Amino acid sequence: AQSVAQPEDQVNVAEGNPLTVKCTYSVSGNPYLFWYVQYPNRGLQFLLKYITGDNLVKGSYGFEAEFNKSQTSFHLKKPSALVSDSALYFCAVRPPGDNFNKFYFGSGTKLNVKP
Amino acid sequence: DTGVSQDPRHKITKRGQNVTFRCDPISEHNRLYWYRQTLGQGPEFLTYFQNEAQLEKSRLLSDRFSAERPKGSFSTLEIQRTEQGDSAMYLCASSPRVDTQYFGPGTRLTVL
């Protein structure tokens, strides 16, 4: 069964400090991996994706993520957090060979950036 | 704005009533998805259209739920005889290929 785990319900960081939001997945083969951000009462906004190639991918708003195949992880990172980064973050996986492009989402991690 | 749009943004209804939501995808996207998101959870897949064909439905999509995408453009999701457990955010997404999905703002349903 396909699954995505975000082990932390909440992450607290001070503004200016680096942040990491963790994601691990359980999918056989080489999946597509995505990060989305959700602000209150809004839909999901695409941040970045890993399809193939360089394990470090860069996305919107200064975010980046590192794909680690051996650890089946795709952690989201940012070198210097902003208060405006406070939101709900979701990791998603699309299993390989899924012609329907069905995404499986984690349960989300609430990021709190304090001034 | 050329993003995915959904209407209405909020819907409050009484138990037993029928409701219908609309999604307008990004115009060149032939793939359209419906998800349901409950509080504290990530979105859960409901159904998928490629053009006008509904190609996959989740077991979450009970017989009270039906979705259509006439002419391969906008889509509607109807819930008949709503129950309190149907209260959730209903999200629509579209994609041009087997890749990134772009989400609309969602329709928040409250069943009293």
In order along its 115 residues, chain A shows pLDDT tens digits of 678 999 999 999 999 999 999 999 998 778 899 999 999 877 899 999 999 889 999 999 999 999 999 999 999 999 999 999 999 999 999 887 776 778 999 999 999 999 9
| pLDDT value for A2 | 72
Structure tokens at A114: 């304090």
Q: Do B99 and A42 touch (CB under 8 A)?
A: no
| pLDDT value for A31 | 87
CB pairs under 8 A between A and B: 64
B25 near A CB under 8 A = no
| pLDDT value for A97 | 75
* Main-chain dihedrals φ then ψ at residue B103, nearest 5 degrees: -100, 150
Q: Do B48 and A102 touch (CB under 8 A)?
A: yes
What number is the average pLDDT over the span B20-29? Answer: 95
Closest CB to B91: pick one of A43, A100, A102: A43
Q: Do A42 and B101 touch (CB under 8 A)?
A: no
A74 near B CB under 8 A = no
Per residue in B27-78, pLDDT (tens digit) is 989 999 999 999 889 999 999 999 999 998 888 788 999 999 998 899 999 9
Mutate to test the interface with B, among A102, A104, A109 (most CBs of B within 10 A): A102
pLDDT for residue B106 is more than 80: yes
Instruction: For A89, name the nearest residue in chain B, comparing CA atoms only.
Output: B42
Instruction: Give the strand pairing for B107-111 and B10-13.
Output: parallel
| pLDDT value for A1 | 67
pLDDT for residue B1 is more than 60: no
Q: What is the Cα–Cα distance from A77 to A66, expressed in whole angstroms?
A: 8
| pLDDT value for B28 | 87
Which B residues in the span 51-90 are in contact with A, Cβ-Cβ below 8 Å?
55-56
Q: Identify the sign of the CA torsion A10, A42, A107, B93.
A: negative
Per residue in B69-104, pLDDT (tens digit) is 998 899 999 999 999 999 999 999 999 877 889 999
